[in-house]
Amino acid sequence: MTELQETVLVTGGSRGIGRAIAETMGALGWQVFLTYARQREQAEDVCRRIISAGGTAHAFALDVNDRDGVAAFFKEKIKGRVHLGALVNNAGLTKDGLLLRMKKDDWDSVLRVNLDGPFACLQEASKIMVRQKKGRIINISSVVGQSGNPGQANYCAAKAGIIGLTKSAAQELGVRNITVNVVAPGFIATDMTRELTSEARAKFLERIPLGRLGDPQDVAETVAWLASDRAAYITGQVIAVNGGLYM
């Protein structure tokens, strides 16, 4: 019987933190399946970079907001085709606004992508990992999911929900040798933080003991460690990658 290839699935792997995670896992010898919602060219570029470095990678269009689509993806691309060693729930969306003026659609869409989507992927991955009797699930939350942040009630609620989901899943799945953990980045140098004004950036830097924004690679290294056998006895934990920032 042919042994299935050890594979990591990274949702939202076309840019920023997701891209760094995909490339880091590829460099460590994992086959990388990465998903994207709209950035097809960027996702394919990530795959090319992984392949040119000697790895294996494939990009797939997937809207984590589509429950039926998520179920079909796992059935058609994952189940029985690869050994799903790790799932990294990274896909996310922001639609900021003060809560008194927040539109229902902005609340609903952010909760669907940032909480319902990870739940759907976790649920489908768990079914496969239970049969494998092993697996690693890493959910990407945020420092604001722990602290809150003005103008981001929807995003903070979703990222806080990720932490609760993770802790519950860890208790249910541990007996199956499946670990479930959270990585909670602080302010990382991505497209999102590049939109900050110089004044806002300076204020954030004042509150970070290490005195700098994080790099996506800082998050990627933490994810890679949690996905490895070196972290086999760690589950239900929130690993903060925030330079010491606590709001």
d(CA 92, CA 161): 13
Beta-strand relationship, 31-36 and 56-61: parallel
Domains of the chain: 6-240 (3.40.50.720)
Instruction: State the pLDDT at residue 193.
Output: 67
d(CA 113, CA 210): 31
Token pair for 146: 């722990």
Tens of pLDDT, residues 34-90: 999 999 999 999 999 999 999 999 999 999 999 999 999 999 999 999 999 999 999
In the predicted structure, residue 106 carries a pLDDT above the cut 50: yes
- Residues annotated as catalytic (active site), given as ranges: 155
204 pLDDT tier (thresholds 50, 70, 90) = confident
CB atoms closer than 10 angstroms to residue 228: 14
Element (H, E) at 90: none
Q: Are 145 and 102 in contact (CB under 8 A)?
A: no
